[in-house]
């Protein structure tokens, strides 16, 4: 209003202000026109002359256009500045989140002494002053007071960070029949809530520990019936409901977490070690078998019906000795071969895809490979017993890194939901847990 008043004072009563008002009216700004007329009554008078009206209209149009352009430009600049600030804020937040995630992932510290630590690290006698439970052949739990609360989250195994160094977090066990001791530990599995199950072969039992090696409970592997026959556990697997599947020379048995036998499946007798896994997608149970000449995989549904036999006859890539078996996220079946020192890969229908590895001590070679598992990204982890180490390969069988070395007889291997790797040592009668730093 002040500018308009100054403009009128400079131009006099030459109708310029009236022309402006008419332009405002044409621009549908009648409220502004009415406000001007209310503020300046003299504007209600008609102009004395139309001289220069066209020129004034054109000048006003140019001025209005310039104002509009300046306004648009200012808005665009403000929008660009705001977008820039938003982007900077998002980048800052992402960096903070990544830093926090990295801090959480690397928060685990190795146990003092590293791989030189004496074992057992933690036994029940160190934790509690209670009597040792007596072994029975009833299949009931030999329970300690140490408990872990079950909380199934349905999460999958976390992908391992390739390139990060590995350290031995804890080692526990030692030869014997007492609590926390082993006689030829073979299979290993980890539940969804990080309970570690060890197939203690010569002691015919399953022992359960925390990821830190603290003893929780145990139960003898006994088949139902009046005979009370004990099953020497070769290997163990966990299904999506945390039920345990244990395989021996001539039986597969399903157990609850507490050690109650829920089901059994009879197998042709085999003198050689068997491996077992449960395919999460199909819930099929896969067992390895070797009779001294021929190798095969037996695939069952959980009700005991047989799906088929893989890796034998025309489906066998070559004479082989299947040892341990696992299934990746795509349903591919991976088996270690003790005769040809390699790993064979089949699809979920039992069609041979490829193999990797050969006998030797180089990074990409294997010598008497045993346990096998996969992480959340499909990377393949193999217990290379003949070379005393655990190696990791990508999903195509290309060597990535060593997870652990200097072992006496790494046997079975598994990866926990958090990405730690658990290894049984057949020769040393111990279990070790390896973590990234």
User: At residue 427, does pLDDT exceed 70?
Assistant: yes
Strands (E), 84-157: 141-143
Q: In 3D, which of 364, 368, 306 has the Cα closest to residue 336?
A: 368
Mean pLDDT rounded to a whole number for the chain = 79
Query: Residue 123's domain is classified under what CATH number?
Result: 2.120.10.30
Question: Do residues 8 and 139 share a domain?
Answer: no
Percent over 70 (pLDDT), the chain: 70
In contact, 358 and 334? CB cutoff 8 Å: no
Q: When comparing pLDDT for 317 and 262, which is higher?
A: 262
Pairwise CA distance, residues 168 & 318, whole Å: 37
Identify the weakest region by mean pLDDT among 310-319, 322-331, 377-386.
310-319
pLDDT tens-place string over residues 139-198: 333 333 333 333 333 345 666 777 778 999 999 999 999 999 999 999 999 999 999 999
The domain boundary, picked from 75, 107, 139, lies at: 107
Percent over 90 (pLDDT), the chain: 49
Structure tokens, 290:
């070797």
Pairwise CA distance, residues 154 & 203, whole Å: 32
The domain boundary, picked from 69, 88, 107, lies at: 107
Q: Total structural domains in the chain?
A: 2
pLDDT tens-place string over residues 236-250: 999 999 999 999 989
Q: When comparing pLDDT for 358 and 134, which is higher?
A: 358
Question: Do residues 58 and 176 share a domain?
Answer: no
Question: Do residues 10 and 159 share a domain?
Answer: no
pLDDT at site 128: 31
Identify the weakest region by mean pLDDT among 64-78, 109-123, 265-279, 345-359.
109-123
Question: Do residues 413 and 280 share a domain?
Answer: yes
The domain boundary, picked from 82, 107, 132, lies at: 107
Question: Do residues 93 and 166 share a domain?
Answer: no
Residues 402-416 have a mean pLDDT of 95
Q: Are strands 251-255 and 276-278 parallel, antiparallel or unpaired?
A: unpaired
Question: Do residues 29 and 120 share a domain?
Answer: no
Pairwise CA distance, residues 171 & 213, whole Å: 7
Q: In 3D, which of 377, 336, 329, 379 has the Cα closest to residue 357?
A: 336
| DSSP code, position 155 | P
Q: In 3D, which of 416, 413, 418 has the Cα closest to residue 199?
A: 413
Band the pLDDT of 71: cuts 50, 70, 90. Answer: confident
Question: Do residues 75 and 129 share a domain?
Answer: no
Domain ranges, residue 11: 1-107
Neighbours of 162 (CB within 10 A): 13
Q: When comparing pLDDT for 100 and 415, which is higher?
A: 415
Question: Do residues 103 and 123 share a domain?
Answer: no
């Amino acid at each position: 209003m002040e500018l308009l008043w100054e403009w009128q004072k400079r131009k006099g009563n030459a109708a310029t202000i009236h022309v402006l008002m008419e332009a405002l009216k044409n621009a549908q700004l009648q409220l502004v026109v009415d406000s001007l007329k209310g503020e300046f009554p003299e504007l209600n008078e008609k102009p004395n002359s139309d001289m220069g009206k066209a020129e004034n209209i054109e000048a006003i149009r140019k001025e209005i256009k310039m104002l509009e352009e300046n306004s648009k430009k200012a808005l665009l600049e403000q929008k660009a500045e705001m977008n820039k600030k938003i982007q900077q804020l998002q980048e800052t937040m992402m960096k903070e989140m990544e830093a926090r995630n990295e801090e959480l992932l690397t928060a685990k510290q190795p146990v003092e002494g590293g791989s030189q630590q004496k074992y057992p690290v933690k036994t029940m006698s160190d934790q509690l002053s209670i009597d040792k439970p007596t072994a029975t052949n009833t299949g009931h739990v030999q329970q300690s007071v140490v408990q872990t609360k079950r909380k199934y989250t349905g999460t999958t195994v976390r992908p391992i960070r390739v390139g990060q160094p590995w350290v031995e977090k804890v080692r526990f066990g030692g030869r014997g029949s007492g609590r926390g001791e082993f006689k030829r530990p073979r299979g290993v599995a980890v539940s969804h809530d990080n309970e570690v199950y060890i197939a203690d072969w010569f002691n015919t039992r399953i022992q359960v520990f925390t990821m830190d090696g603290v003893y929780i409970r145990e139960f003898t592997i006994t088949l139902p019936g009046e005979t009370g026959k004990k099953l020497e556990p070769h290997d163990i697997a966990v299904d999506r409901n945390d039920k345990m599947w244990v395989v021996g020379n001539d039986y597969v048995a399903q157990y609850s977490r507490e050690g109650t036998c829920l089901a059994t499946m009879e197998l042709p007798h085999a003198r050689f070690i068997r491996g077992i896994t449960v395919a999460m997608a199909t819930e099929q149970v896969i067992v390895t078998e070797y009779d001294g000449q021929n190798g095969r995989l037996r695939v069952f549904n959980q009700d005991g019906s047989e799906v088929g036999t893989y890796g034998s006859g025309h489906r066998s890539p070559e004479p082989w000795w299947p040892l341990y078996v696992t299934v990746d996220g795509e349903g591919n079946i991976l088996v270690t071969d003790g005769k040809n020192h390699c790993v064979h890969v089949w699809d979920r229908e039992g069609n041979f895809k490829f193999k990797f590895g050969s006998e030797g001590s180089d990074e990409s070679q294997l010598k008497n490979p045993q346990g096998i598992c996969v992480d959340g990204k499909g990377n393949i982890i193999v217990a290379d017993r003949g070379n005393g180490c655990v190696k990791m390969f990508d999903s195509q069988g290309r060597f990535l890194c060593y997870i652990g070395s200097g072992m006496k007889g790494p046997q079975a291997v598994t990866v926990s939901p958090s990405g730690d790797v658990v290894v049984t040592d057949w020769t040393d009668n111990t279990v070790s847990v390896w973590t990234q730093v």
